[in-house]
Homo-oligomer: A and B are copies of this chain.
Amino acid sequence: MKKIITINHEYGSGGRLIGKTLAEKLGLHFYDKELIALTAQKSGFTEEFVKEAAEKKTASLLYSLYMTSLPISDQLFLAQSQVIKELAAEGSCVIVGSCADYILREERCFKVFVHAPREVRLKRVKEEHDVQDHREFLHKQDKKRTAYYNYFTQNKWGNALDYTLTVDSQIGINTAAECIARAAEAFFA
């Protein structure tokens, strides 16, 4: 049976790493940045451009006024949705981010949400990012991610009812991946 696992995660919660570990454990394809590259190719935008635009909710008003068609961010979301649907149609995989849970809502996916308290995530951000104000940086990432998700889906970011399993990553990356693997095994059995 085809196994599609989607993972949404709070910035700095280690959700991407959990997804990667999980994919290795279950021998599944793993899509995250690869997804963006694929989207870029599909939409005709450059990979760099897609990366920057990926978490912006809408283009600026000024830019939009010049556009006669959909705003760039909406065009990108549509292109990305198409890529995600194609990947899911191809076979079992783990997809991190990109509202894949919502885009694949007609499929029977195992949906995961990973989170952690702000201070824990801040610690990870400090280790991984060279920015001036880490707290401000994290705050902005949180706002962007929540706004992006709530704008493009009809769900509300972090609502337990929308997920098969949600987990605080403080239990550990490997333990979280193990729990998800065990639960997904039963879900797809």
* A contact residues vs B (CB 8 Å cutoff): 113, 115, 158-161, 163-168, 170-172, 175-176, 178-179, 182-183, 186-187
A186, B158: Cβ atoms under 8 Å?
no
Contacts of A161 in B (CB 8 A): 115, 158
A164, B167: Cβ atoms under 8 Å?
yes
A-B contact pairs, 23 of them (CB 8 A): A113-B160, A158-B159, A158-B160, A158-B161, A159-B159, A160-B160, A160-B163, A160-B166, A163-B166, A163-B168, A164-B167, A164-B168, A164-B170, A164-B171, A165-B165, A165-B166, A165-B179, A170-B187, A171-B186, A175-B182, A175-B186, A176-B183, A179-B179
- Tell me the nearest residue of chain B to A118, going by C-beta: B161
Contacts of A172 in B (CB 8 A): 186
Assembled-state Cα–Cα distance A160/B164 (Å): 11
Task: Give the copy number.
Answer: 2
Q: How far is the CB of A12 from chain B (nearest CB, A)?
A: 14
Assembled-state Cα–Cα distance A186/B177 (Å): 12
A183, B187: Cβ atoms under 8 Å?
no
A165-B165, A167-B183 known; 7 new pairs, CB 8 Å cut-off, are A113-B160, A160-B166, A164-B168, A165-B171, A166-B167, A171-B187, A175-B183
Contacts of A165 in B (CB 8 A): 165-168, 171, 179
Which of A167, A168, A172, A187 is packed against the most chain B CB atoms within 10 Å? A168
Assembled-state Cα–Cα distance A178/B175 (Å): 12
Residue in contact with A182 in the complex, picked from B113, B170, B179, CB distance below 8 Å: B179
Contacts of A166 in B (CB 8 A): 160, 163, 165-167
- Tell me the nearest residue of chain B to A116, going by C-beta: B161
